[in-house]
Structure 1
Amino acid sequence: MLKDFRPVLGILLRFIIVYLVLLFSYQFYLNHFKEFGLDPFSKIIAEQVSYLQNWLGYPTKLYNDVPQEQVWFYVKKRYVTRMVEGCNAVSVMILFVSFILAFYKGKKTFIFLVLGLALLYIMNVLRIVGLNIVVRDYKEYGKMFHDYIFPAAIYGTVVALWLIWIKFFALKHENS
C-alpha cells in the first residue's frame, strides 16, 4: 500500500525540505541586516520602484527609516506608502521555487525557475508602483488594491506558473 504513495511522498518531502531550507536561509539573511534597517534586497526593489515612478512622471524620493526597518515612498510631495520586508515578495518566490523543485525535471527545471522568478520580480515591482500611484491619486481605493487586487495578481501569477509547469513540463512524458 505504501508503494502506491511513494511518488507523492517523495514530492511532498522534497517540497518540505526545499521550503524549510530556503525559509531558514532567508531568515538568517534578514537577521544579519536587522540593525541596518530594511534588508538590501528590499532596498534595491524600492530604488527600482522609485526609478520607474520617476520615469512615469511621479516624482519619487525614498526615506530610509532604519529604526522601523522600512523605506517610505515620497511621491509628488507626499508620503504615500512604506515598504517593509514583506513587500519584496521573497516569501512568494520561496513558495514558487519549493513547488517547482518538488517536481524536478532536470535542466528545464532551472530554466523555468529563472524565467518564473524574473516574471514574479517584475510583477512585484509593478505591483508596488501601481499601489503607490493608486494611493497617491485615488486614496479611497488604496486598501482594496493593497489587500485584494495586487495580492490576487501576484498569487494568481504563481498559480498560473505552477499550472504551466505541471501541465507542460512536470507531467509530460519524456518520449512524447
Structure 2
Amino acid sequence: MKNLFLQYKPFFIFLMKFLLLYIVLTVVYKLYLGQYDAEKFQTDGVTTSVAFQVEKTIGFLGEPVTTAPSTKDASVVVLLRDKPIVRIIEGCNAVSIMILFAAFIFAFSSGWKKTFLYIVIGIALIHILNVLRIVLLTIAIDRYPEQEHLLHGVVFPLFIYGVVFLLWVLWVQKFSGYATKRVEK
C-alpha cells in the first residue's frame, strides 16, 4: 500500500488539496446562503448584485430593462419592455463555478503569490463573462423564445464551462510549474 501511495503521490496531493479547498469554500458559501430565507423569497446579495449588473449592461445596450424581486421564489426577474424574460436564481451567480475553478488552481499550485493572483483574475473574468452570458441569454430568449431550452441548457453553459476549462489548461501548461517540471525530467 505504501508503494502505491508513493507511486501516485502527486495525484494524491492534488486530490487532497482540491478536496480541502473545495469543501472549505463550499461550506463557507453554504453558511453565507444560510443567512437568506428562500421560503420568504429572499435572494442572496451576490445574485442580487449579478442581476443589477445584468440590468445596467442591458440598459447600456439601449434596451428598456428593469429588474424586480420575484414574488414566486428567491430570484430576480429581468423584464424587457415590461415583459418578464428570465429569472436570475442563486445558481446563476456562478459562485459554485468559481469555487470549482479556485479549488482546481489551488490543487495545481506551485507558489502562493502566482496562484492567488491567477485565482483572483480568473474569478473576475468568470464573473464578467457570466454577467455577459446572462445579458446575451436574456436578449436571445426575448428574440427567440422557442429556443430557450437550447440556449439556457446547452449553448450558454457550454460557454461558461468552456472558459473555465481553458483557464485550467492555461494554468497547468503556462503558470503552474508542472509543465516545466515534466519537461525538465
**TM-score using structure 1 length:** 0.94
Q: CA deviation at 1:149?
A: 0.4
Matched, 1:118 2:121: no
Matched, 1:26 2:29: yes
Query: Percent sequence identity over matched residues?
Result: 37
Matched, 1:81 2:86: yes
Q: CA deviation at 1:169?
A: 1.6
Distance in 2, Cα, partners of 1:67 & 1:143? 21
Residue 89 of structure 1 contacts residue 124 of structure 1 at CA under 8 Å; is this kept in 2? yes
Larger mean CA deviation between 113-122 and 59-68 belongs to 59-68
The aligned residue for residue 114 of structure 2 is 108
State the SS of the aligned residue for 2:8: helix
How many residue pairs get aligned? The number is 176
State the SS of the aligned residue for 2:141: helix
State the SS of the aligned residue for 1:104: coil
Any unmatched runs of 5+ in structure 2? none
Residue 37 of structure 1 contacts residue 67 of structure 1 at CA under 8 Å; is this kept in 2? no
Any unmatched runs of 5+ in structure 1? none
> Which portions of structure 1, spanning 4 or more consecutive aligned residues, are displaced by more than 4 angstroms?
none
Q: Are residues 125 and 44 of structure 1, via their aligned partners in 2, closer, same or farther at CA, if it must alter by over 3 Å?
A: same
Residue by residue, what CA displacement relative to the aligned partner does 1:14-36 show, whole Å, maximum 9, x if unpaired? 10111011111111100112256
Residue 78 of structure 2 contacts residue 86 of structure 2 at CA under 8 Å; is this kept in 1? yes
Match for residue 14 of structure 1 among 14, 17, 31:
17
Quote the RMSD (CA, aligned, Å): 1.7
The aligned residue for residue 59 of structure 1 is 64
Residue 37 of structure 1 contacts residue 65 of structure 1 at CA under 8 Å; is this kept in 2? no
Match for residue 173 of structure 1 among 145, 160, 180:
180
Residue by residue, what CA displacement relative to the aligned partner does 1:43-96 show, whole Å, maximum 9, x if unpaired? 011000000101112111111126611111111221111111000011111100
Q: What amino acid is aligned across from residue 24 of structure 1 in structure 2?
A: V
The aligned residue for residue 169 of structure 2 is 163
The aligned residue for residue 53 of structure 2 is 48
Larger mean CA deviation between 121-130 and 106-115 belongs to 106-115
Residue 38 of structure 1 contacts residue 66 of structure 1 at CA under 8 Å; is this kept in 2? no
